[in-house]
Structure 1
């Protein structure tokens, strides 16, 4: 995991507005959310694992599943999830492999991030800053 210093840190936004602005770019609410915290995730690649940008947030006003909820953004970071080898050997296309991986625990949820994705991630965070700030 590589934290990315950002002007987004500690900024407060309506969650609905974040989704409206960032979903068209490919960001989604990550699957590990609860009523008080979550993240916006962007899958950059699936090169020997999945490379993501994650922008964590906590509920500031209301619960995340409530209309009008506002959130406070945390420090964005770049991470690689590396999945277990061999599980998808019999699933030779992306759709089947993706559906297997989504239910499989990562072999290494904090694998080393290749340099090219660090640079790409930093550029993508700058893009989000320019859109939101």
Structure 2
């Protein structure tokens, strides 16, 4: 994990507004959100190792399962997950069965190193996100 300094840290916004700004840029709300916290994820690359830019957020007014929730953004960071090249099942598994196994595969390294080139990409992406979000302050 590589923390990235940003001017969006500790800023408070409507989650709906953030979604409207970030989803067109490729961000998704990570699937392991809770009622009071979650994160926006952007997959940067997936060539053997999955590199993500993650922007965590916490509910400050309301909860994430209700419309109109207001959230506070936290420090963005880069993370890398290295997955197994093959799954445990012998032979190819096409269709739904194969995708279900691949989807829930456990990373062999959930905190792989992030090379300098991806850190530079992450910093550029954070600047772009700042240019989208900060004007709505």
Would you say same fold, with TM above 0.5? yes
Structure 1 runs (4+) deviating above 3 angstroms are 88-93, 95-101
- What is residue 114 of structure 2 aligned with on the other side? 113
Q: CA RMSD, aligned part only?
A: 2.2
- What is residue 75 of structure 1 aligned with on the other side? 75
Unaligned runs of 5+ in 2: none
Q: How does 1:53-132 map to 2 (within 5 A)?
A: 53-87=53-87, 90=91, 100-132=101-133
Spell out, residue by residue over 1:15-47, the C-alpha distance to the aligned partner (whole angstroms, 9 max, x if none): 000000010000000111011100000000002
CA–CA distance in 2 between the matches of 1:31 and 1:5? 24
- What is residue 23 of structure 1 aligned with on the other side? 23
The alignment's TM-score, normalised by the length of structure 2, stands at: 0.87
The alignment's TM-score, normalised by the length of structure 1, stands at: 0.90
**Count of paired positions:** 132
Instruction: Give the SS at the match of 1:53.
Output: strand
* 8 Å CA contact 1:45, 1:51 repeated in 2: yes
- What is residue 43 of structure 1 aligned with on the other side? 43
Deviation for aligned residue 1:91: 5.2
Instruction: Give the SS at the match of 1:43.
Output: strand
